[in-house]
Amino acid sequence: MMRGTDEASGSLFSYVDLEARIPARHPLRKIRQVVNEALASLDGEFEALYTDFGRPSIPPERLIRASLIQILFSVRSERQLMEQMRYNLLFRWFVGLGIDDPVWVPTVFTKNRDRLLTTEMSRKVMAAILAHREVAPLLSDDHFSVDGTLVKAWASMKSFQHKAAGTPPDDDPSNPPGPDSPTEDHEQTPTETAPMPRPDRQSRNAEVDFRGKKRSNATHASTTDPDARLYKKSPGTGAMLCFMGHALMENRSGLIVQADLTQADGTAERRAAMSMIHAHSPGSTRQLTLGADKGYDSADFVRDLRQACVTPHIARKSRHSAIDGRTTRHAGYAVSQKHRKRIEEPFGWGKTVGGLAQTVYRGIERVSAHFVLTMAASNLARLPRLLGA
């Protein structure tokens, strides 16, 4: 066999269509088809958000597809996403950019995305995907599971300061003294040169010893993200500044049908579970089932579920359980307890792939919008296998 030459061809034009460069059985083909048809159903929602005059924005369909591809491929920032879209043909094809179309400036993309992708719009995108003609038959209408997970906030423990002393210290090198700051009163002649001051400043990341100090959400707050709360989910684990994400999963295919994010506290999971059940099946008279872990075994929560025609398939506590033999004697209880553990899979996917291990956003609204969209992306990641594409 003759040796090939290592010479660049230098071709000026390419006659291969961008569509032809994507393999026919690539999983993104089915995902893109479902996303495009779901976004087409939201055309009226998009039309209501924009005016008939002014500077054209980035098309909302492209914004959402770009945000989804960022989650699906673990792109850590918008700046890196724009860089990838300059040379990654797969990204360009999925978003809808041509081979010669310019890529957006990262800050312009971020501002347009924050204006469009609110928590409510993320929920509408998820609902449109679930209502797709190929996805809807995969869903169960009667059997669900619920759980919550902690999302670490983009704030350090050093930012968790007393509310009365939440202002940055005067010796912070990032805050230089202003023109009205007091200075040493030394007499100087016009011909003298003032000596350069040598203030004794501490490091911006100084060591802090929290041992023996009591801190709680009642008296302290984060100066970086005031919406974050200090919380630990189980005894023996360290507390951290975080939010609490919630998801409602249907038990047939394990797809997330509702998602929410709240501030972290001891009753947030049960409140969010009731809210998601009512949002997904408002006024339902069918007898639904809801699987959950022991954290939901509360007399008040079980009573509210029964009043809402929902059978509480909740894991029983060893003592003082609100679940009795009326529920556990049925075979469906054991089935729900088996299926409810699958809800950890979207949470695990969101933290390892979707960037939910520690959010890069601040404020509960932005973190909530990203959490809901990540749960929608986790559904999309499973569709090619579920649909046999």
Give me the residues paired with residue 151 across strands.
243
pLDDT given for residue 10 in this prediction: 66
pLDDT mean over 372-388: 96
pLDDT mean over 176-184: 43
Mean pLDDT lowest for which of 29-38, 132-141, 203-212, 236-245? Answer: 203-212
- Identify which of 153, 71, 84 has the alpha carbon closest to the alpha carbon of residue 113: 71
Dihedral angle sign, alpha carbons of residues 251, 256, 257, 259: positive
Distance CA 327, CA 107 (A): 54
- The whole-model pTM stands at 0.86
Question: 378 near 346, Cβ under 8 Å?
Answer: yes
Query: What CATH number was assigned to the domain covering residues 139-156+233-363?
Result: 3.30.420
pLDDT mean over 222-240: 90
Confidence grade of residue 352 (pLDDT, cut at 50, 70, 90): very high
Distance CA 168, CA 224 (A): 11
Q: Percent of the chain, pLDDT > 70?
A: 87
pLDDT tens per residue, range 70-84:
999 999 999 999 999
Give me the residues paired with residue 258 across strands.
248
pLDDT given for residue 182 in this prediction: 43
Percent of residues in the chain assigned helix, strand, coil, to nearest 5: 40, 15, 45
In the chain, where the domains are located? 18-116, 139-156+233-363
Confidence grade of residue 206 (pLDDT, cut at 50, 70, 90): confident
pLDDT given for residue 170 in this prediction: 40
pLDDT given for residue 238 in this prediction: 84
pLDDT given for residue 187 in this prediction: 45
**φ, ψ dihedrals at 24, nearest 5°:** -65, -30
pLDDT given for residue 178 in this prediction: 44
The full 3-state SS of 215-277, as one line of letters, equals CCCCCEEECCCCCCEEECCCCCCCCEEEEEEEEEEECCCCCEEEEEEEECCCCHHHHHHHHHH
pLDDT mean over 23-29: 94
State the chain's mean pLDDT as an integer. Answer: 88
Dihedral angle sign, alpha carbons of residues 47, 50, 55, 61: negative
Please provide the size of the chain in residues.
389
Residues with Cβ < 8 Å from 384, sequence gap 6 or more? 27, 30, 31
User: Which position has the higher pLDDT, 4 or 111?
Assistant: 111
**φ, ψ dihedrals at 296, nearest 5°:** -95, 0
Confidence grade of residue 337 (pLDDT, cut at 50, 70, 90): very high
Given a cut of 80, whether residue 165 has pLDDT beyond it is no
Given a cut of 60, whether residue 166 has pLDDT beyond it is no
H-helix or E-strand containing 345?
helix 344-352
pLDDT given for residue 235 in this prediction: 81
User: Which position has the higher pLDDT, 173 or 243?
Assistant: 243
Confidence grade of residue 203 (pLDDT, cut at 50, 70, 90): low
pLDDT given for residue 174 in this prediction: 39
| Vertex 367: Cα angle to 270 and 86 (nearest 5) | 145
Given a cut of 90, whether residue 140 has pLDDT beyond it is yes
Distance CA 308, CA 90 (A): 46
Given a cut of 50, whether residue 290 has pLDDT beyond it is yes
pLDDT given for residue 192 in this prediction: 52
pLDDT given for residue 237 in this prediction: 82
Distance CA 274, CA 146 (A): 10
- Identify which of 28, 27, 71, 34 has the alpha carbon closest to the alpha carbon of residue 349: 71
The type of residue at 64 is I
Confidence grade of residue 12 (pLDDT, cut at 50, 70, 90): low
Given a cut of 70, whether residue 342 has pLDDT beyond it is yes
Confidence grade of residue 213 (pLDDT, cut at 50, 70, 90): confident
pLDDT mean over 348-363: 96
Question: 291 near 332, Cβ under 8 Å?
Answer: no
Distance CA 61, CA 125 (A): 10
pLDDT given for residue 7 in this prediction: 76
Mean pLDDT lowest for which of 73-82, 256-265, 274-283? Answer: 274-283
Distance CA 27, CA 270 (A): 36
Given a cut of 50, whether residue 180 has pLDDT beyond it is no
The type of residue at 129 is I
Question: 22 near 29, Cβ under 8 Å?
Answer: yes
